[in-house]
Amino acid sequence: MRAHSTLLPFLASSVLASLALARVPTDPWLSEFGGTPDLSFSGITTFAHLPHSRCLDRPDTPFDVAILGVPFDTAVSYRPGARFGPNGLRSGSRRQRPERGYSSVLGINPYMTGLNILDCGDVPVNPFDTPTAIKQINAAYRSMLNHPVASEEKMKELNMQKGLDGEYHPRIISLGGDHTIVLPILDAVHDTYGPVSVIHFDAHIDTWNPNRYYGSVSVQAGVNHGTFFWHAYEQGFIKHNASIHAGIRTKFSGPVDLTDDVTAGFDLVHTMDIDEHGVEWIAEKIKARVGDGPVVISLDVDVMDPAYVPATGTPESGGWTTRELRWILYNLMGLNIVACDVVELSPAYDTNAEISAIAAADIVYDFLAMLAIGVKGQDPASASASASGGHTADEL
């Protein structure tokens, strides 16, 4: 009887504990709404709601394609503010998302093709010291190129170009920043692939010789967003006579500027050529110029008319519409692309409707689609073997 009485408190406490557990409510959010994805206007703002990693601090992080912000604008000649471009581009991409990224025009969802795409954040660029900032951008890009790819099989399936070391390297889409960022980027890309062709979408040629460029009062000042392609030519980063500008409509100091442009290895398509010849003619001219070798696409948002993209540092009237530009890009699918960038977005000059940021973010989507479609009708291995040729010169 005594043993039975000692069990009663234990049994009573067990029953009470069970009743208490039964009364504990399930989590209010998880029970009804758990797993609800962020909407276009909610969540942390990464590009297109992609997963984010601070890749520069995690050199072992694998990815196939990285979105990398480069918030630098201390080498502009007119309006500042492109340091906020990466943030503006990400904001403009909020209505994009991987699970709703299918293009009925291209027949592809670039986010869902097996390529591992990651938003790697920004390069923390020094805003007080331009030479140091350029070194930081170069170091960051080299680091990113040395990250392991997530899927070598996918890169092989897409016929992606290997580096001079015989290995696959990730593709990086840079969000500028002013256009000067392309100089340290080309430096890093050159080390990986050798001299590259450049498709340069812009209202301005950006091959101005610093010896004649207004404001180049020092060696330091001579490296800016209007001269960087000249320096890239002098340092041998660009494959000679295999690069092209598209959308040019700026005013020049005289024929000497165009002579320097030819010296730097560029041909050009004027913005007015679209009316005389059409989109397909422009695309064919670009493809014939760059050939099968490794290609860098550098796109200044001022290639589009300021009626469509007002948020840029050096606006020029008479540019292409967003639709015309994107149709040209669609006609360039299949090129041997090793790097892309969208630069010179200066959100302070945008409208409240963010029309510039949305247009620029859609260009990034198009770049992702170009990479996801892959290289068509070319042999990147042979292109790599021929990439070691080109003009070389001493460093600045």
Whole-prediction pTM: 0.88
Among 335, 334, 316, 325, smallest CA distance to 364 is for: 325
Residue 236 sits in a domain whose CATH number is 3.40.800.10
**Residue 243 pLDDT greater than 70, yes or no:** yes
Please indicate, yes or no, if residue 300 is contained in any of the structural domains. yes
Residue type, 150: A
Asked if the structure places residue 194 within a domain, the reply is yes
User: How confident is the model over 268-280, as a mean pLDDT?
Assistant: 97
Range of the domain at 373: 47-386
Q: Tens digits of per-residue pLDDT, 38-52? A: 899 999 999 999 999
Q: What is the dihedral of CA 358, 198, 110, 154, to 10 degrees?
A: -160
Q: H/E element holding 381?
A: helix 380-386
pLDDT tens for each residue of 309-351: 999 999 999 999 999 999 999 999 999 999 999 999 999 999 9
Judged against a pLDDT cut of 70, whether residue 16 lies above it is answered with: no
Question: Is 60 part of any known ligand binding site?
Answer: no
CA dist., res. 370 & res. 201, Å (int): 16
- On average, the pLDDT of the chain sits at 90
What's residue 389's pLDDT? 42
Which residue, 134, 207, 138, is CA-closest to 172? Answer: 138
**Does residue 300 have a known ligand-binding role?**
yes
- Residue 42 domain-assigned? no
CA pair distance 48, 88, nearest whole angstrom? 12
Residue 206 labeled ligand binder: yes
pLDDT at 140 over 90: yes
Q: Which phi and psi angles does 192 have, rounded to 5°? A: -85, -40
Q: At a CB cut-off of 8 Å and minimum separation 6, what does 129 contact? A: none
Q: Does the annotation list 302 as a binding residue?
A: yes
165 is in an annotated binding site: no
Q: Tell me, what's the pLDDT at 1?
A: 47
- Please state, in angstroms and rounded to a whole number, the distance separating the CA atoms of residues 178 and 160: 28
Q: How many domains does the chain have?
A: 1
Residues 350-393 pLDDT 10s: 999 999 999 999 999 999 999 999 998 655 554 444 444 443 33
Q: Which residue has the higher pLDDT, 101 or 25?
A: 101
Asked, for residue 9, whether it belongs to a domain, the answer is no
Average pLDDT over residues 179-206: 98
Residue 362 counted as domain residue: yes
394 belongs to an annotated ligand binding site: no
Residue 11 lies in a domain: no
C-alpha distances in Å from residue 278, one per residue of 2, 106, 273, 318: 101, 20, 7, 16
The DSSP letter of residue 317 is S
Give me 26's structure tokens.
């399930």
252: Cα separation from own chain's centroid? 29
**pLDDT > 90 in the chain, percent:** 82
Q: How far apart are CA 189 and CA 140, in angstroms?
A: 12
- The pLDDT confidence band at residue 112, using thresholds 50, 70 and 90, is very high
Q: Band the pLDDT of 137: cuts 50, 70, 90.
A: very high
- Asked if residue 121 belongs to a domain, the reply is yes
Return the amino acid letter for 367. Answer: F
